[in-house]
Amino acid sequence: MKSEAELKQIVKQKYSEIALQDKEINMSSCCGAGECSTEIYNIMSDDYTSLKGYNADADLGLGCGLPTQFAKIKKGDVVVDLGSGAGNDCFIARHETGETGKVIGIDFTPKMIERARINAEMRGFNNVEFREGDIEHMPITANAADVIVSNCVLNLVPNKNGVFKDMYRVLKPGGHFSISDVVLEGALPDGLRKDAEMYAGCISGAIQKEVYLELIKSNGFNNIIIQKEKPIVIPDDILKNYLSVEQIQSFKSGASGIFSITVYAQKPLSEKSTSCTPGSGCC
């Protein structure tokens, strides 16, 4: 089993390559990693093109949902996008928050940051900025964001609990997030679970749906809602690179499944005190 540092380096290397790939390649594979499929097109991504603020140059086809569509962004909001890539979700968020708001994209891949900054500068988006950093240790002060969005990114991070913890720190009291991600129901075959390329491809890094939701709850968030859910079907011509014919048949006929979910949750307006003082009634 690879260490957390090794997995993060795999993802960083793969996404440095993905930053230079065509959108069509990314959308016909699993989050841009691994072999392309000739069976189907658009394995994970939803169609962004109808959303206001969409910029084709910033769309790498790497998402698994449309979190900005569900994020309830208001004019003047400060929005943070985790794993901002070439800037697609940031630019859509900018349309929602307007010129009075601010959008901050966080990504740990320098080539993604470079591409996103070029896209923003070309369009004169002065209230959108991109910062290099890990999303479990965001380069953002506490209580700074009204809304956090993320699209198919947390499944790539070994320390998912650390990400939710830092999201709680960065959100203002009463702030909320809407994130799209890949989760599991049932166990993945070992060939998919252990393969490093499939980790970078958003699959083997995914965790059980109930564990994912419990991580959100245990980090203090409330009003947890699944805004959208859809199954993800991996075509045979990708599966054959990791599983035998018998394993593919067993996997497809079994109880396990891979899903894209878009989850909303809110940071409470006020936190319950953990201290106990005389007369407070808690002792």
Spatial contact of 112 and 132, defined as CB atoms under 8 Å apart: no
The CA distance from 118 to 102, in Å, is: 17
Tokens 């014919």 locate to 245
Domain span at residue 105 reads 4-265
The reply to whether 283 falls in a domain is no
Predicted structure pTM score: 0.78
Structure tokens at 90: 């940031």
Q: What is the pLDDT of residue 250?
A: 81
* CA contacts within 13 A on the Cβ side of 270: 2
Output the DSSP codes for the chain: ---HHHHHHHHHHHHHHHTTS-HHHHHTSBTTBSPPPSS-S-SS----TTSTT--GGG--S--SS-HHHHS---TT-EEEEES-TTSHHHHHHHHHH-TTSEEEEEES-HHHHHHHHHHHHHTT-TTEEEEES-TTS-SS-TT-EEEEEEES-GGG-S-HHHHHHHHHHHEEEEEEEEEEEEEEESPPPHHHHS-HHHHHTTSTT-EEHHHHHHHHHHTT-EEEEEEEEEE----HHHHTTTS-HHHHHHHHHSS-EEEEEEEEEE--SSPPP----TTSS--
CATH code, domain with 174 = 3.40.50.150
Within a domain: residue 165?
yes
Compute the CA torsion angle 113, 118, 124, 128 (nearest 10 deg).
0
pLDDT of residue 238: 75
pLDDT in tens, 189-238: 777 766 545 544 456 578 899 999 999 999 999 999 999 998 887 777 77
Distances (CA, A) of 104 to 80, 120, 170, 189, 268: 5, 11, 12, 37, 22
**Residue 64 within any structural domain of the chain:** yes
- The owner of tokens 């380096």 is 9
Counting the structural domains of the chain, the total is: 1
Instruction: Give the pLDDT confidence score for residue 179 in this predicted structure.
Output: 96
For residue 48, what pLDDT is reported? 60
In this prediction, residue 188 carries a pLDDT of 76
Residues in the chain, pLDDT under 50: 21, 23-33, 36-44, 196, 199-201, 273-283
Dihedral, CA of residue 194, residue 12, residue 30 and residue 197, to nearest 10? -30
| Residue 273 falls inside a structural domain | no
- For residue 88, being part of any structural domain is answered with yes
pLDDT digits (tens, 9 = 90+) for 226-255: 999 988 877 777 778 878 888 888 877 777
In a domain, 277, yes or no: no
Which residue type, as a one-letter code, is found at position 115? R
What distance in Å separates the CA atoms of residue 88 and residue 74, rounded to the nearest whole number?
18
Is 272 within the bounds of a domain?
Answer: no
Is 278 part of any domain?
no
Q: Are 88 and 130 in contact (CB under 8 A)?
A: no
